[in-house]
Amino acid sequence: MKMFIQRNSPLPLHQQIYHSIRDQIVSGLLTDGDQLPSIRQLAQQLQVSPMTVVQAYRLLEKENWIVQVQGKGSFVRTQEPSEETQPSPFAWQKKISNNLIGARYPSFYHWPVEYPMADSVIDPELLPNLFIEQELIKLLSQDPRSLSRYSEIQGDFHLRSAISKYLQKLSIHTSPEEILITNGTQQAIDLVTRTFLQPGDLVVTEAPTYAAALDLFKSQGVTLLSVPVDEEGMKISNLMRIFSQKTPKLIYTIPSFQNPSGVTMSRKRRQQLIELVQNTTTLILEDDPWSELYFEKKPPEPLFSMDTQGHVIYIKGLSKILAPSCRIGILLARGPIFHQLLTMKGNVDLGNPLLTQKAILSIIQTERMQRHLEKLRIALQLRRDYLIYCLQVYMPAGVKWHKPLGGLNLWVELPEKVNALTITEQAKEQSVSVLPGTICYPYEEGGDRFLRLTFASLNEKKIEEAIRRLGVIIYKALNAPSAFANA
């Protein structure tokens, strides 16, 4: 079992081991009946005292994640592997070491439920599907050979030109040469991770943050530290304290309508962040999935536009605002790092599909895009307001939330007694999916009392039914004995 522990983390070692194993169980990487390493083996592997492992295993057992069987060892959840069941012919594969260190995100994603509120996606009814479909048909009839050609690795030149003009509206002045088209911004995060991060590097994220980015950073064995966000975004004073000890290799931030908290980093904090990294070798990865989706006023200009020394790598996905399945992400960077990222993109996939790049070209380069965004802002604001109304009606006292001024998500704080993971499981049984805050923190327990709800994926009728069901579950949890509650 591959596992990294951080000796300079504020989290005790036994808790790091506990989290790492719990994450692997939650994500399905460890399954019922899997045997854990013996206490001695794991202590040796991690260079910790056997007592540290004992403490971790006790904690896991107390929460029913594992059972310890006298004389046999420790097993995931079930009593012990049944003697009657035939061993799987693939069981040996579990012995192959891999880089999936505590990847938790995919296990919460795309649950087939009637009321999906876990995924940050927009209701297809609100997206220009018909237009894109017609573009695809036109494209194939006018240029059937487009399926027989590779795209440029960097991305279709016409699309990059159109994007550089589009980005001007977001106060970003760039050129097609500084743009790399990626397979969604998920790939952009992966490219930055693969290209620049090595075991032991220090990566700082916001807390909470986008869970799938955490999973990627972890896969490289980096040291992860997180900085809390408040009403003005990432707390720069905390970040300064980190810098006084060690210079981070990378800071990952979502400054506008942050995922999952919904807060926006103020202009002052953005300037402070840029000042902090000047004259260092720190990279900033600025993730901007939806700054266009503001309900009151536009967020401040991106960090990328404030930076003159090439520290900021800016990424923008078009999934959230246009067409998730076209998988178009935009990456901007300046200087030698751009070419390093481009080389990695070539190594990884030789470039995005040409067809989907061409399919969105005509919408991106016309006024149609602005009209679409205007409508989207209104529709999403209505859904946010309706979600808040439903929370007021159906949630028991003690449930709080932060009103987001843009984006797709609302961050809910549960009363002290209620556990987010338990609520998530209960909600799934009622065909409602929610994202537990637990997976939005690198290691801390902080997320156990938070849920992220997406208001963009359901219409108002469905939002109401989902929140009614969720309200009942939380109400029961509040009034139940310990089974439902935080241990």
Ligand X SMILES: Cc1ncc(COP(=O)(O)O)c(C=O)c1O
Shortest distance (Å) from residue 206 CB to ligand X: 10
Taking residues 418 to 437 in sequence order and writing x for each that binds ligand X by CB under 6 A, - otherwise, the string is --------------------
Q: Verify binding: residue 317, ligand X, rule CB under 6 A.
A: yes
Terminal CA-CA length for the chain = 27
The answer to whether the bond into 37 is cis (omega within 30° of 0) is no
- Three-state secondary structure call for residue 55: helix
Shortest distance (Å) from residue 274 CB to ligand X: 20
C-beta closer to ligand X: residue 286 or 307:
286
DSSP codes joined into one string, 442-453: SS-GGGGGEEEE
Binding piece for ligand X, criterion CB under 6 A, among 44-52, 69-77, 181-189, 192-200: 181-189
Which H or E run contains 361?
Answer: helix 354-364
Q: Is the dihedral of CA 155, 157, 159, 161 positive or negative?
A: positive
Shortest distance (Å) from residue 29 CB to ligand X: 21
DSSP state of 136: H
Binding piece for ligand X, criterion CB under 6 A, among 83-91, 148-156, 317-325, 440-448: 317-325
Q: How many of the chain's residues bind ligand X (CB under 6 A)?
A: 13
Taking residues 201 to 220 in sequence order and writing x for each that binds ligand X by CB under 6 A, - otherwise, the string is ---------x----------
Binding piece for ligand X, criterion CB under 6 A, among 41-49, 179-187, 360-368, 373-381: 179-187
Which H or E run contains 328?
Answer: strand 328-332
Q: Which of residues 249-278 bind ligand X (CB under 6 A)?
A: 254, 259
Rounded to 10°, the helix 184-196/336-349 angle is 110
Establish how many alpha carbons lie within 13 A of residue 90's alpha carbon, considering only the half-sphere containing its beta carbon.
0
CA angle 226, 286, 332 (to 5 degrees): 150
Q: Which of residues 86-125 bind ligand X (CB under 6 A)?
A: 120
C-beta closer to ligand X: residue 185 or 195:
185
Binding piece for ligand X, criterion CB under 6 A, among 74-82, 142-150, 178-186, 266-274: 178-186
Give the Cα separation of 424 and 81 in Å (integer). Answer: 27
- Three-state secondary structure call for residue 283: strand
Taking residues 289 to 308 in sequence order and writing x for each that binds ligand X by CB under 6 A, - otherwise, the string is x-------------------
| Amino acid identity at 21 | I
Shortest distance (Å) from residue 121 CB to ligand X: 8
| Amino acid identity at 182 | T
Q: Which of 302, 324, 406, 407 binds ligand X (CB under 6 A)?
A: 324
Give the Cα separation of 124 and 135 in Å (integer). Answer: 17
C-beta closer to ligand X: residue 15 or 357:
357
In the complex, the residues that contact ligand X under the rule CB under 6 A are: 120, 184-186, 210, 254, 259, 287, 289, 317, 319, 324, 329
